[in-house]
Amino acid sequence: MDNHIKTESLREFYQRTNQPVPFDLTDEQSPVGHFNVQYSTTIARKSPYNRRDYYKICLSEGRRDGTSVLHYHNEEIVLDSPCLIFTNPSVPASIENSCSTIHRYYCLFNNRFIEGAIRPDIQYSCALFNPTLHPVIKLNEEEQGRLRIYFEQMQQLLATDYSFKWEMIRNLLLLLIHEGIRLQQVKLSQPSIITDRVVNGFFHLLNQQFPVVSAEHSLKLLTPADFAQQLHVHVNHLNSVVKKHTGKTTRAIVHERVIAEAKTLLRHADWNVSEIAYALGFEYPSHFNKYFRQATGLSPMDFRTNRTQAIVPSL
């Protein structure tokens, strides 16, 4: 199935922004993966609305006139004050600036750069890895200044020939991610860090299934029993520890991810409803229709044709 949501690669990002493609993106054997950090002055424009095969964290000055907007999932989030933006690669996103200029730091990196460095429980608590979390965190002046230092230090290290600069940059990146999680928990009441091995395994299996790229590779793990079998634990134990550490049932967490992916595919993919149903693991489209209507109050077709999107402020 060729009709799918566009996924921008790192190479395509550099080409789109008229920058030289870094050497490590031409070297498949690069041991450190790819990382870059920049300070940009963005002119009035809208970036392409697509998924990405890389992670991106942005520290934005914001605009009180409301002329900078993040298009994310089915929301338009006004960036009207300094903020930290964590965008999940599997969620189609775009930033639109209608003002003359806006200043921001951003860093981007691929999975190889951080592979094995961030536990699944930490990933669950960060919007960078968990698409069900809000991607924008408002910052006060002190918070903005403190986070700016991380970006500045990473930028300075990037320009050096220090033998262990990648380790230092990776540590600063982890500090930035943890600061974001801490601020999420304080400002947005997001979930705390989880240390249970079974729960971490559950989120690892769940995250591996997304994004959905074709009906030929449909979701295989849809029920608590499916996950429990893979984790070699009793389903009652899985349900108990997931509820204890997240406040949600296993079924509810899986349901959130499936519905979020369904909304993304309905809005932004060219697949018909039957193809989306099969891709999400439903044997019959009628079962998907009922499932989606119970969650949203709309049929999949009604949701697809209803193009009204709420504009909400950053939190």
- Backbone φ and ψ for 41, nearest 5 degrees, come out as -110, 105
- Phi/psi of residue 65, each to 5°? -85, 5
Between the CA of residue 58 and those of 153, 158, 215, 277, what are the distances in Å?
A: 15, 17, 33, 34
User: What does the block give as tokens for 183?
Assistant: 């601020």
Copy the structure tokens of residue 247.
């406040």
Q: Give the pLDDT score at 312.
A: 44
Q: What is the distance between the alpha carbons of residues 252 and 272, in angstroms, rounded to a whole number?
A: 26
CA angle 131/107/14 to nearest 5° reads 100
CATH of domain 197-306: 1.10.10.60
The DSSP 8-state label assigned to residue 224 in this structure reads H
Please tell me the CATH code under which domain 7-188 is placed: 2.60.120.280
SS3 content of the chain, % helix, strand, coil (to 5): 45, 20, 35
Tokens of residue 117, six digits: 């460095």
Contacts of 229 (CB under 8 A, 6+ apart): none
Roughly how many angstroms between the first and final C-alpha of the chain, as a whole number?
A: 38
Question: Per-residue confidence of the chain (315 residues) as pLDDT tens digits?
Answer: 344 567 899 999 999 888 988 877 766 555 678 999 999 876 657 788 788 889 999 998 866 655 788 888 667 788 888 999 998 888 888 888 776 667 889 999 999 899 889 887 788 788 898 877 889 999 999 999 999 999 999 999 999 999 999 999 999 999 999 999 999 887 765 555 556 788 878 988 888 888 787 777 789 999 999 999 999 999 999 999 999 888 899 999 999 989 988 988 887 778 899 999 999 999 999 999 999 999 999 999 999 888 544 444 444
Cβ(315)–Cβ(134) below 8 Å = yes
Closest CA to 105 of 132, 133, 139, 77: 139
Structural domain boundaries in the chain: 7-188, 197-306
Identity at 63, one-letter amino acid code:
R
Res 270: pLDDT: 82
Amino acid 145: pLDDT: 94
pTM: predicted TM-score of the whole model, two decimal places: 0.67
| pLDDT in the model for residue 305 | 87
CA distance 87 to 54: 10
Helix (H) or strand (E) holding 76: strand 75-78
